[in-house]
Amino acid sequence: MGQIEEAAYAVNRARWDEVVALHVASPFYRVKEFLDGEDSRLPIERAELGPVAGKRLVHLQCHFGMDCLSMARLGAEVTGLDFSPKAIEAARALAGKAGISARFVEGNLYDAPALLAGERYDIAYVTWGAINWLPDIAGWARVVAEVLAPGGFLYMIEGHPYAMTLDQRELTAPIVATYPYWHKPEPLVFRSDVSYTGEDTKLQNEEMREWIHPVADIVGGLLEAGLRLEFLHEHPRLAWQLVPSMLEDEDRMWRLPDGHPNLPLALSLKAVKDR
């Protein structure tokens, strides 16, 4: 990594280390419901991914591992990877509490092939607020291709890069395109003293450094890495409240209010490694 990437990595890891305990306790993540048997994934993810029983699955950027454990409970052989040692510690503790077997590995996404000791998987799983922390989307695509077995596939569902350009300063203000859509080497720098989960708990690590990756860069990177695109879907809803005026639907996803232009808020795709 260069100096820009190293600095961003350190800043972002400090924030994610801090929010892990808050997220495990947050109603947003529904840990209690998961421990009672609920699948932590959203209905859209379950429908698009399909059955996972008997599959070897790696969740890249898995946070504290609850989605990993939901899929392991359904019969997948699961490995989760995350750069936050606090997240990996929490994932292992949650696995023990739930009585579910899964492997969790700490480390940089770009080191995944080595960290996973050459393991190859049927499914690489990437969801919700993952690739915006990565400086190099083509490098990410090469990692995905390397960890997949022949015939395996990537399933990704993410915030739409166009949606990531939007901002709304307050509830009654207009929603406007504020941030650049086209990728730049320098990260966007954001500050917030609270988490997206909605608690009032004040955070010491306020800074976040992120990148927007255009659709062409995401798809182009996967194609260059040798994967074949099987589907690409755009969605008018998102897994979190991106701007203050968004409203929550009954299935825990968020949409823009009635009367607002219908914009793409999420993007999902499946890309297959044929050989």
253: nearest Cα among 234, 273, 231, 236: 236
pLDDT-based confidence at 88, cuts 50/70/90?
very high
pLDDT-based confidence at 236, cuts 50/70/90?
very high
Q: Strand 266-272 relative to strand 121-127: parallel, antiparallel, unpaired?
A: unpaired
Q: Is the pTM of this model over 0.75?
A: yes
259 pLDDT more than 90: no
